[in-house]
Amino acid sequence: MAFDFDTPISRQNTGCCKWDDLQQVFGRTDVLPLWVADMDFSAPPGVTAALKARLEHPVYGYHTREKPLFESVANWEKKRHGWQVELEWLMNAPGVVPSISAAILAFTEPGDEIIIQPPVYPPFSACVKNNNRRLVENPLIEDSGRYTPDLEDLKRKITPRTKLLILCSPHNPVGRVWTRDELLTLNEICLNHGVTVISDEIHCDLAFSGHRHIPTAALGEAIARNTVAMISPSKTFNIAGTYTSFVVIPDAGKRRKFAQTIEALKIGAGNLFGIIAAEAAYRTGEAWLDELLPYLEANAGYLAEYVRQNLPGVKVVKPEGTYLAWLDFRGVSGDPAYLQELLLNRAKVGLNDGAAYGHGGAGFARLNFACSRSLLQEGLVRIEQALKNR
Ligand SMILES: Cc1ncc(COP(=O)(O)O)c(C=O)c1O
């Protein structure tokens, strides 16, 4: 192994939200943090080298480096996902969540309806509500811990006021890497009803063996013209703090509209270090990612097996991608307050409360397993002991 994911690295006192904000987030500092979606691993060495090299020049003024940056993104998408991204389709953005809000402003009016598929990443609903649009939920169907889209419900929910669907592909928190058939059917429904699809593909590079991420806009030309895709190196290479992402819009009309909004908000320039980190990650990070993925997948398998053997009443299905596990604690207690007390104050683990993920989330907790195996094990042992001693 050329890269070490196994030796824990202390992140305390680095101004890191996952480890340094425990008091604010959980009300105590002795919690093992397995929550917010970044990894406890060093970024690929090529990223650190590129940042260091740039720091050698001590002037950090306005920058311009769009073409090589966009080329690195397009090459990556082609190589990893077989998706031909034209450079003119690409736009720079300071993150996927700001891009979702910008898309809501660009493509909808106040009062328009926007569909999400809970349980899902909480900022989806927040972006809709904060921009005074109407949230419509098309909950996923759960069957023995495996989730699928409810396409019949989707058809029923679409009205003439429905303008957007925000798709999470792969899905946070349920860990599905959607199949071609699932994506095709969903996108055809949206296309036929004039509903533009915002495709949040931030977890696209984190699919495990036997599963393949399919970019929404690679499903065909008509679907591509109906898609506003959002990609980012932040999850893949653990550089979320550099706030750099990309919006890919194949349709020229939609691109113009989105560009007007980005221009009105003045958020398209990107920041110097984010741009350097992103380009270095896409150009030099592949070997690192190819070692990271089996490590994450082994953690996922370890976690699923540990839960099965040692955590009575808890269920989990090994995720198909992402580094997030969606733990079902409904067999332990139907009372969310008790669950919170158990996990936080007795087990002393900091997980994300499932209730925040909307419909179908109560009684679940999300666990981030992008950490060394020993840390993951410690978290699971803590939960096991709390369950035994209750
Ligand atoms: C599905 C999804 N979208 C977006 C984000 C955050 O993106 P950004 O930090 O680029 O706004 C996350 C982070 O966890 C996520 O899981």
| Cα–Cα distance measured from residue 82 to residue 180, given in angstroms and rounded to the nearest whole number | 14
Q: Is residue 7 one of the residues assigned to a domain?
A: no
Helix (H, G, I), strand (E, B) or coil at 342: helix
pLDDT at site 294: 98
With the most atoms of ligand 1 within 8 angstroms of its CB, the residue from 172, 205, 236 to mutate is 172
Query: In this model, does residue 261 exceed pLDDT 90?
Result: yes
Residue whose Cα lies nearest atom 16 of ligand 1: it is 172
Residues 77, 212, single domain; the answer is yes
In the chain, the number of structural domains is 2
Q: What is the CATH number of the domain that holds 269?
A: 3.40.640.10
Using the 8-state DSSP alphabet, how is residue 3 labeled? S
What are residue 198's phi and psi, to 5 degrees? -90, 115
338 Cβ contact partners less than 8 Å away, ≥ 6 residues apart: none
Final residue of a domain: which of 237, 253, 284?
Answer: 284
Residues 126, 275, single domain; the answer is yes
Residues 272, 192, single domain; the answer is yes
168 lines ligand 1 (CB under 6 A): yes
Q: Which atom of ligand 1 is nearest to the CA of 38?
A: 14
| Cα–Cα distance measured from residue 369 to residue 283, given in angstroms and rounded to the nearest whole number | 26
The answer to whether residues 369 and 300 touch, using CB atoms and an 8 Å cutoff, is: yes
Average pLDDT along the chain: 97
Q: Which atom of ligand 1 is nearest to the CA of 121?
A: 1
pLDDT at site 270: 85
Q: Is residue 243 one of the residues assigned to a domain?
A: yes
pLDDT at site 66: 84
| Cα–Cα distance measured from residue 242 to residue 240, given in angstroms and rounded to the nearest whole number | 5
Q: 98 alpha carbon to ligand 1 midpoint, in Å?
A: 10
Q: Is residue 54 one of the residues assigned to a domain?
A: no
Residues 192, 337, single domain; the answer is no
Residues 280, 292, single domain; the answer is no
What are residue 352's phi and psi, to 5 degrees? -90, 130
C-alpha distances (whole Å) from 241 to each of 14, 91, 204, 277 are 12, 19, 18, 10
236 lines ligand 1 (CB under 6 A): no
Q: Residue 269's pLDDT band (boundaries 50, 70, 90)?
A: confident
Domain that holds residue 207: 59-284
Residues 67, 40, single domain; the answer is no
pLDDT, one tens digit per residue, over 320-342 is 999 999 999 999 998 989 999 99
Q: 242 alpha carbon to ligand 1 midpoint, in Å?
A: 13
| Cα–Cα distance measured from residue 289 to residue 281, given in angstroms and rounded to the nearest whole number | 10
Q: Which atom of ligand 1 is nearest to the CA of 98?
A: 11
Residues 360, 300, single domain; the answer is yes
In which order are the strands placed within the sheet that holds 245-248? 90-93, 245-248, 227-231, 196-200, 162-168, 113-116, 134-137
Q: Is residue 11 one of the residues assigned to a domain?
A: no
Q: Is residue 51 one of the residues assigned to a domain?
A: no
Calculate the CA 157 to chain-centre distance: 25
Q: Is residue 10 one of the residues assigned to a domain?
A: no
* One-letter amino acid for residue 365 of the chain: A
Residues 153, 297, single domain; the answer is no
Query: In this model, does residue 65 exceed pLDDT 80?
Result: no
Helix (H, G, I), strand (E, B) or coil at 1: coil
Say how many CA atoms lie within 13 Å of 176 toward its Cβ: 23
| Cα–Cα distance measured from residue 172 to residue 272, given in angstroms and rounded to the nearest whole number | 29
Q: 95 alpha carbon to ligand 1 midpoint, in Å?
A: 7
245 lines ligand 1 (CB under 6 A): yes
Q: What is the CATH number of the domain that holds 294?
A: 3.90.1150.10
C-alpha distances (whole Å) from 390 to each of 39, 142, 332, 385 are 31, 29, 11, 9
Residues 208, 140, single domain; the answer is yes
